[in-house]
Chain A
Amino acid sequence: MEQRILFPSSDWFQKLAICMLAQEDEYRRLGPMDCTMVVRVSSPENGDRNFEIVFRAFSVDSVREINDPGDVPPEHFIIEASLQTWQEMIENIREHCGPDLKHTLNFLTFPNDPMRVNGPDQLQTDAFYRYNRSIQQFFNGATDVPTIYN
């Protein structure tokens, strides 16, 4: 029986990091990215949970859950959405082996609803646009990660 990984969790993002390593050629084609992304998942039960993913070149340098909200790094961007929105996006990616037209990161964040992207300043937020296809590819790794949600 396939093992399901809990979302959100550091383990889940580590799984995506492993998928990224396995697809190094594809990431090399897309181009390197040096940036820090924070994924914020909100739910009525668990409040806000924050996960920091540090990208270096073609791989993930580190993943950690940030327990103290004041510890969120002041660089680059935070992508935030409800657990329900993240779940819908991940399941859509899994169903289609990549997002359909209405579930790309840009589609979901552009109107600021149901997802939002924020940085400490506009230039850092713009890093989300600069590396968008690599970040999308990172989440597309969810195709190979059976997931449960809480």
Chain B
Amino acid sequence: MAKYTPTVEVGLDRMRDMARGNFDLSWMDSNPEGWGHKVQRSQAGLKLTDVDHGFYGQVPAQGSSHGTMAPRGCYVPEGTISLDQYTINEMTEIWADNAASLYDEAVVRQWNSVTDVPWEKLKTLPDDMEKAVCQMCTGLAEVEFVAGDMPAKWLCRINHDFHEVKLFLATQIMDEARHLDVFRKRALANGGGLLMASPGQEELLAAILNAPDYATASALMHIFGEGFVLTLFRQGEYLAPTEVEKTIFGLCMQDEARHVAYGVKHLKFLLERQPEREEEIHAILEKGEQAIFSLTLEPQTSEPRAILAGGGLANIELGMMRMAFIYQKQVHEYLQRLKVAGIDRTNRLSIPTEIPYAEIAA
């Protein structure tokens, strides 16, 4: 009876051959087309966009059918098994022309919540203000990681030939991990704690996670959801009561703007090649609009921001009026981003362009 399995025996035979000086070395000439690649470094260092040009920059409209994790541009020996994982094989479904440069930008612009936030500058806030900050952070900690879960859901299904997009989405997952972490940390760091979750937010999160395909999920999340959150981050920086919140929101704002930039360029790429899909996009955006409108007016979402905008609970009404401006800005920027992507939704918007709080209050 053989001491080892046939697989191990084959390996040992190969080693015996090598011990006799019979090396294969066929791998050395396996990819003549890809050999001798010239690279010019950018001022910032060696970027993905610096190496992915020429032979290695050719992105196939249809991802390769071998279904392996072999890096695009290498030689894949016949008989290599398919992993049978990839269901997203069309470039149009995921591609954005800025994915590689956004990846380069993302990896350099990483930060961490341990040492990059000046936690030592936290100071005791009046109770109403601390509660408002904590509630805002509770809401953001709840919503942020959907932008990690959504790409994670699709990542292993994306053909490995589209590594630029896969790498970018991986940075996004890390970004969102950091956002969840930093908002939760802020809520717990100053003598307060987490407050109330938001049923309205869960509806929006469900719509993103249950979207029928990647392209619609991306339109809903990257452009709509993250676009609205980007404005909230800008507002968070604006309302920040201390240097700590100022830093947190400033850092998160940069990350979120990268995600939005990918989403806009992806949708543009998709619709330029498959304009017939515009109606699907309108349908998912309408779902998002409905969810965000009810969520915007949920007390646990709107009231803490109004307290911060007004400067305290005593001025919450003033804060509500100031909040109306934020909503108007969110809707305006959302429509403008869609225009860049090639969709005019101005006349199909299913929610008001502004919240007439002052009129209602009067």
A residues with CB within 8 A of B = 30-32, 56-59, 101, 104, 106-107, 110-111, 121-123, 126-127, 129-133, 136
21 contacts between A and B (CB under 8 A): A32-B44, A32-B45, A32-B108, A57-B44, A58-B43, A58-B44, A106-B234, A106-B237, A106-B238, A110-B237, A121-B336, A123-B265, A129-B230, A129-B234, A129-B253, A129-B254, A130-B105, A130-B254, A130-B258, A130-B261, A133-B250
Chain B residues, CB < 8 A from A136: 250
Distance in angstroms from A26 CB to nearest chain B CB is 13
How distant is A117 from chain B, measured CB to nearest CB, in Å?
10
Q: Is the CB of B238 within 8 A of A30?
A: no
Please indicate the chain B residues that have their CB under 8 angstroms from the CB of A31 in the complex.
Answer: 105, 108-109
A132 to B261, Cβ gap below 8 A? Answer: no
Residues of B within 8 A of A (CB-CB), count: 34
Q: Chain B interface mostly helix, strand, loop or mixed?
A: helix
Name the residue of chain A whose CB is nearest to the CB of B98: A123
Bound form: Cα–Cα A59–B250 in Å: 21
Q: Within 8 Å CB of B258, what residues of A? A: 130
Bound complex: CA A56 to CA B336 (Å): 27
Count of A-B contacts with CB under 8 A? 76
| B238, B333, B339, B340, most chain A CB atoms within 10 A | B238
* A138–B259 CA distance with the chains assembled, in angstroms: 24
Give bound CA distance, A122 to B42, whole Å.
27
Q: Residue of A at shortest CB range from B230?
A: A129
B residues apposed to A, CB below 8 Å = 42-45, 105, 108-109, 230, 234-235, 237-238, 240-243, 246, 250-251, 253-254, 256-258, 260-261, 264-265, 325, 333, 336-337, 339-340
Q: How far is the CA of A130 from the CA of B105 in the complex (A)?
A: 10
CA A72 to CA B276, docked complex, whole Å: 37
* Interface contact B257-A129, CB-CB below 8 Å: yes
Q: In the complex, which residues of chain A have a beta carbon less than 8 angstroms from the beta carbon of B246?
A: 101, 104
Contact assessment for A122 and B238 in the assembled complex, using a CB-CB cutoff below 8 Å: no
**Contact of A122 (CB < 8 Å), options: B44, B241, B256, B337:** B337
B255 closest partner in A (C-beta): A130
- Closest CB in chain A relative to B263 CB, distance in Å: 10
**Which chain A residue shows the least CB distance to B258?**
A130
Instruction: Name B237's closest neighbour in chain A (CB-CB).
Output: A106
Contacting residue for A132 out of B43, B44, B241, B254, CB 8 A: B254
* Shortest distance from the beta carbon of B254 to any chain A beta carbon, whole Å: 6
Quote the shortest CB–CB distance from A75 to chain B (angstroms): 13
Contacts of A122 in B (CB 8 A): 264, 333, 336-337, 339-340
